[in-house]
Amino acid sequence: MVKQRVELNRVREFGDVINDTILFFKQNFRPLMNAYFVICGFFLVAGAAIQIVVELRDLQDNNLTPFNLSYWTNLLFSSLDSAVVALTTLSYIALYKEKGKEPPTVTEVWGYFRYYFFRVFISQLILEACVVVGFFLCIFPGVYLLPVLSLVIPIMVLENTSLNYAFSYCFKLIKENWWFMLGVILLLFIIVFAAMALVIVPPLVIIGGGEWLSGINSNSTEIIASAIASNLARVFYILPIIAIALVYFSLAEQIHATSLMQRIQMFGKKDTRDDQTSSEQY
């Protein structure tokens, strides 16, 4: 028996978003992971290498300032890695919808990725700056903006639109659903951080135990292990991206009812086609 694939355009409750996020990830695990490692692999390896070089250099430099060049370099590549993971996942979802719930190929996802890359990366830097400024303004504006602006990138990719349109549209979508969006984000990131801890903590514990038994402390080994593990664990970022995309489809469906209208429009056409087939058989 073939399991029914996840329908994107439908209204979801809180539990439905979580369940469908996990279901979508399970049903599309192999093609989604293929796209992830092929497209994101280079960026993750480069990010880990740069993180290792920067932190090893900082380890040897005693004249560090809190916000030196190394800090900004790590921050930039962290934003780049996040943008790459988000864009790959959203490109996959957009093609999944376009192909009628069929998994896209890596080549198809790569085509979408190339088309949106600079637009998404620059937009993400702008959005992150907005959230940071919001947190500096008595914290509350940043807390408010975080759930709202998390919809901007999905809207840009899934609707193929500009930053200005996505920015204004996300406020319309989330107008009466801010707490709903915040709850989804918090729960998914708790799950993600727990999963990442399972990847990052064990190698650090093993290395720390080995150093304790041998009596030899090697900060460089810990830095390398931490950088590799943390970049490998970024694969779990896929889950909140899927969840936010499903929230977008749910909120858009509440406002526009696009799925319902499509079914109504196709209803008569389907009947006509069935009638024609029946008449031809006789």
For 91-124, what is each residue's pLDDT tens digit? 999 999 999 889 999 999 999 999 999 999 999 9
Question: Is position 8 within any domain?
Answer: no
pLDDT at 211: 62
Question: Is position 97 within any domain?
Answer: yes
- CB atoms closer than 10 angstroms to residue 35: 26
Largest CA-CA distance found in the chain, in angstroms, rounded: 89
Question: Is position 5 within any domain?
Answer: no
pLDDT category of residue 280 using cuts at 50, 70 and 90: very low
pLDDT at 68: 63
**Burial (CB count <10 Å: 0-12, 13-18, 19+), residue 232:** middle
Question: Is position 278 within any domain?
Answer: no
Question: Is position 280 within any domain?
Answer: no
Average of per-residue pLDDT across 205-213: 68
SS3 145: helix
Q: Domain tally for the chain?
A: 1
Mean pLDDT, rounded, of the chain: 81
pLDDT category of residue 277 using cuts at 50, 70 and 90: very low
On the question of pLDDT at 262 being above 70, the answer is no
Residue 147 belongs to domain spanning: 14-272
Q: 112-116, 189-193, 202-206 — which is least confidently predicted? A: 202-206
Rounded to a whole number of angstroms, the CA Rg of the chain reads: 22
**pTM of the predicted structure, to 2 decimals:** 0.82
Question: Is position 9 within any domain?
Answer: no
Question: Is position 2 within any domain?
Answer: no
Question: Is position 231 within any domain?
Answer: yes
